[in-house]
């Protein structure tokens, strides 16, 4: 299981990569492995406003539908166009080609509410007990 050090993590198993005022978001390796084969991803349109801890889309495995939660507030600057045709990228490469959205942040101080890699590892260990 991979837990890249340079990322921030949410308690909903999203990862966040910060570049200036933009937060790139995807789901973690742990999340994709719990879901199983991802067959469908539904993402918002560019320009949509999203609010921290509210849903911004869904990811579906063969068996289950799971909501995706925005880790920060802002507006959608970009969505990964590849996931429409190749949702399996979420399984094969969750931290790179399987990214989902980029959010132009309203309030970067919200990042302080997220977990760092060690906190997230502990969180996953607790949850998978």
Partner 1 sequence: MAEPGDALRRTSLYETHVAAGAKMVPFAGFEMPVQYTGVIEEHHAVRQAAGLFDVSHMGEFEARGPGAAAFLRRLVTNDVSRLEVGRVMYCTMCREDGGIIDDLTVYRLADERYMAVVNASNIGKDWAWMAARKGAGVEFRDVSSETGLLALQGPRAEAVLAGLLPGGGDLGAIPYYGAQERTWQGKRVLVSRTGYTGEDGFELYCGAPDAPALWEALMARGGGEGLKPCGLGARDTLRTEMKFALYGNDIDEATNPLEAGLGWVVKFQAGEFIGREALLGIKERGLSRKLVGFEMVDRGIPRHGAPILAGGRNAGVVTSGTMSPTLGKAIGIGYVPLTHAAEGCEIAVEIRDKARAARVVETPFYRREKA
Number of separate helices (H) and strands (E) present in the chain: 4, 9
Q: Is 37 in the site for partner 1 (CB under 8 A)?
A: yes
Tokens of 34: 């719990």
Q: What is the dihedral of CA 118, 41, 56, 44, to 10 degrees?
A: 130
Q: Is 93 in the site for partner 1 (CB under 8 A)?
A: no
> Quick one: 21 or 36, whose CB is closer to partner 1?
36
Q: Which of 87, 85, 97, 83 is nearest to 39 (CA)?
A: 87
> Quick one: 71 or 87, whose CB is closer to partner 1?
87
Count residues near partner 1 (CB under 8 A). 12
Q: Is 46 in the site for partner 1 (CB under 8 A)?
A: no
Provide, rounded to whole angstroms, the least separation between the CB of residue 123 and partner 1. Answer: 21
Residue positions counted in the chain: 129
> Quick one: 5 or 63, whose CB is closer to partner 1?
63
Residue 89 and residue 68: Cα distance in Å, rounded? 16
The C-alpha angle 10, 12, 17, rounded to 5 degrees, equals: 35
> Quick one: 59 or 105, whose CB is closer to partner 1?
59
Provide, rounded to whole angstroms, the least separation between the CB of residue 106 and partner 1. Answer: 25
* Contact residues for partner 1, defined by CB under 8 A: 36-37, 39-40, 42, 58, 60-63, 65, 84
């Amino acid at each position: 299981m991979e837990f890249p050090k340079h990322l921030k993590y949410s308690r909903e198993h999203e990862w966040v990569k910060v570049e200036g005022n933009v937060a790139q978001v995807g789901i973690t390796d742990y999340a994709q492995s719990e879901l199983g084969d991802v067959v469908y991803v539904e993402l918002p349109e560019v320009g949509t406003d999203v609010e921290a801890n509210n849903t911004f889309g869904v990811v579906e495995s063969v068996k289950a539908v799971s909501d995706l939660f925005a880790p920060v507030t802002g507006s959608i600057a970009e969505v990964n166009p590849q996931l429409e045709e190749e949702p399996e990228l979420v399984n094969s490469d969750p931290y790179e080609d399987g990214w989902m959205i980029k959010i132009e942040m309203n309030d970067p101080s919200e990042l302080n509410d997220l977990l760092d890699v060690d906190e997230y590892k502990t969180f996953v260990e607790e949850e998978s007990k």
